[in-house]
Amino acid sequence: MTNDSTHAATAEVTAIDTQARVPLTLLLAAGLIWLVISGVLGVITSIQLHTPGFLADCSFLTAGRAQAMRETSFLYGWIANTGLAVVLWVLGRLGGSPLRALNWTVAGTIFWNLGLAVGLVGIGLGDMTSFASFQLPRYVGVLMLFAYAAIALPGVLAWSGRRSHGLFASHWYGVAALFLFPWLFSAAQLVLLWSPMRGTLQAVAGGWYTQSLWSLWLAPLALTGAYYIVPKVAGRLMPSYDFAPLGFWTLIFIGGWTGGRHLVGGPVPAWIPTMAVVACTMMLFHYILVGLNLRIASQAGGTAIKFIRFGLVAYVLTGTLDALTSFRVIAVETQFTFMATALEQLGVYAGISMMLFGALYYMLPRLTGRPWASAALTTGHRVLVSFGVVLLVATLAVAGWTQGSDLLDSKLALGEIFNRLRVPLMVGTAAQIALVAANLLLVVNFFRSACVCCATSTPSETPFRQPSALEAHAS
């Protein structure tokens, strides 16, 4: 691992990084704790799928509630905290001066995670809403919005007060992620919880939120890191960079229109799923352009790049499969099955999370000024998490496909279909356990690396360099 970009000895450390050490490390630590919590919940829900009686007596963990808690802690705990840390860091570096108002980030982090914890307890007690990826109870919504604004403030200041006039691709994605989430979240709160729409219109608005969350927040959070790190590590200008704006605006303008993807054949106006087919197909431009821009990831090495490469392949694959399964002929087979779960995991775990892992591995040594505590743990995490996520998505996809074709055969009773699903679902549990184990390795490594740095005096700071000039150079 001599020439590894996650090794601080070869990395440039600037004043921007040392200033932001504590707030950003706090965000990352919060993200990792939620990752483990959601992993444990993932094991529980996955056991409940093949053994329905498991923990059924505990009203706190009915299958529906445990599933909602798993998803919420994953999206709003792990991805939100880590993604925001990555975006703030990248915007600070591109802004050319140390992040300002970082106290707000610390306060925001505390309240965001407090709100999330209250929300999860609320779900356990039965206050969940019934919309996918929007299960947080109504009473934490406002707190979460204010906390989010506080976390994001330094990023906005870094962007508006940047020294260079240009905007880079990672700027676009970072700023979009920071600004769009509050709009999305408050718009959804308004029409789903405060003044609910009538009947099935709730499902339409819920679908709009879920899909917008993916394309206007989760994907930009991860792509901010990928667009910043890949050209830097590869040491090359980004190929086809002229097309990058097209890729960005396709995602932003078309993303929300894919909202009806899961409502095929449902009691909603038929144009809603039809529009989703059109939008999902148009989104292919975005996925293709991201693939074109970041294809240089295949020519670089290092832990960070290995994660990001994995994430990018999964991300492009998710877009392609989303488009395919939005068509009615295919949806008739995949709708209401584990195929939808498989695609969701492919997107948020194999895609977004793997890119965030890469960014995390790249970022931490620069924040602390020290290499990761253990190279063995790093490798162990990478191998185990890659194995776990591939196994998970593959078993869910197999389960989904059998379930889909079995459901179409009306002579097959549901009990029989269930029996045929048990084996793949049990393998899925093994995959979830592998993922928890892998992420525990990361947590140990993270806290060892972060705490070693807290215990010793600050490392010597190298002279400040204009980071934007480094965007296309090897670190």
Binding residues for another protein restricted to 46-75, rule: CB under 8 A: 48-49, 52-54, 56-59, 62-65, 67-68
Nearest approach in angstroms of CB 122 to another protein is 10
Q: Residues 337-356 vs another protein: string with x where CB under 8 A? A: xx-xx---------------
Q: Distance between CA atoms of 104 and 88, rounded to whole angstroms?
A: 12
Q: Is 464 helix (H, G, I), strand (E, B) or coil?
A: coil
Nearest approach in angstroms of CB 190 to another protein is 10
Residue 127 interacting with another protein (CB under 8 A): yes
Nearest approach in angstroms of CB 84 to another protein is 17
Residue 391 interacting with another protein (CB under 8 A): no
Q: What are the structure tokens assigned to 346, written together?
A: 């492919």
Q: What are the structure tokens assigned to 261, written together?
A: 């993807």
Nearest approach in angstroms of CB 215 to another protein is 10
**Residues from 396 through 425 that contact another protein (CB under 8 A):** 403, 407-410, 414-415, 418
Cβ nearer to another protein, comparing 227 with 361: 227
**Residues from 183 through 212 that contact another protein (CB under 8 A):** 183-184, 187, 191, 196-205, 207-208, 212
- In 3D, which of 147, 6, 7, 172 has the Cα closest to residue 81? 147
List 7, 21, 232, 262, residue binding another protein (CB under 8 A): 262
Name the one range near another protein by CB under 8 A: 32-40, 181-189, 233-241, 387-395.
181-189
Q: Is 359 exposed, middle or buried (0-12, 13-18, 19+ CB in 10 A)?
A: buried
**Residues from 145 through 164 that contact another protein (CB under 8 A):** 159-160
Contact of 347 with 210, CB cutoff 8 Å: no
Contact of 371 with 7, CB cutoff 8 Å: yes
Q: Distance between CA atoms of 389 and 271, rounded to whole angstroms?
A: 35
Name the one range near another protein by CB under 8 A: 106-114, 175-183, 299-307, 456-464.
175-183
Q: Distance between CA atoms of 366 and 16, rounded to whole angstroms?
A: 10
Nearest approach in angstroms of CB 354 to another protein is 25
Q: What is the CA radius of gyration of the chain?
A: 22
Cβ nearer to another protein, comparing 29 with 346: 346
List 133, 335, 395, 445, residue binding another protein (CB under 8 A): 335
DSSP line for 350-375: IIIIHHHHHHHHHHHHHHHSS--S-H
Q: Cα dist. 82→151, 352, 424 in Å?
A: 12, 11, 31
Q: Distance between CA atoms of 461 and 34, rounded to whole angstroms?
A: 32
Q: What are the structure tokens assigned to 52, written together?
A: 């329905």
Nearest approach in angstroms of CB 441 to another protein is 30
Cβ nearer to another protein, comparing 287 with 446: 287
Cβ nearer to another protein, comparing 199 with 459: 199
Cβ nearer to another protein, comparing 186 with 299: 186
Q: What are the structure tokens assigned to 45, written together?
A: 């829900």
DSSP line for 160-218: HT-SSS---HHHHHHHHHHHHHHHHHHHHIIIIIISPPSTTHHHHHHHHHHHHHIIIII
Tell me, by CB under 8 A, how many residues bind another protein. Answer: 83
- In 3D, which of 86, 349, 360 has the Cα closest to residue 224? 86
Cβ nearer to another protein, comparing 130 with 299: 130
In degrees, rounded to 5, the angle at the alpha carbon of residue 306 between the alpha carbons of residues 432 and 470 is 135
The b/e string for 292-310 (b: 16+ C-beta within 10 A; e otherwise) is bbbbbbeebebbbbbbbbb
Cβ nearer to another protein, comparing 114 with 197: 197
List 9, 165, 460, 463, residue binding another protein (CB under 8 A): 165
Cβ nearer to another protein, comparing 93 with 366: 93
**Residues from 215 through 254 that contact another protein (CB under 8 A):** 216, 245, 249, 252-253
Name the one range near another protein by CB under 8 A: 125-133, 282-290, 367-375, 455-463.
125-133
Q: Distance between CA atoms of 100 and 95, rounded to whole angstroms?
A: 11
Nearest approach in angstroms of CB 270 to another protein is 9
Element (H, E) at 338: helix 338-345
Q: What are the structure tokens assigned to 454, written together?
A: 């807290």
Cβ nearer to another protein, comparing 264 with 373: 264
Nearest approach in angstroms of CB 279 to another protein is 9
Q: Cα dist. 297→301, 308, 310, 311 in Å?
A: 8, 8, 10, 11
**Residues from 362 through 381 that contact another protein (CB under 8 A):** none
List 35, 41, 128, 323, residue binding another protein (CB under 8 A): 128
Nearest approach in angstroms of CB 152 to another protein is 14
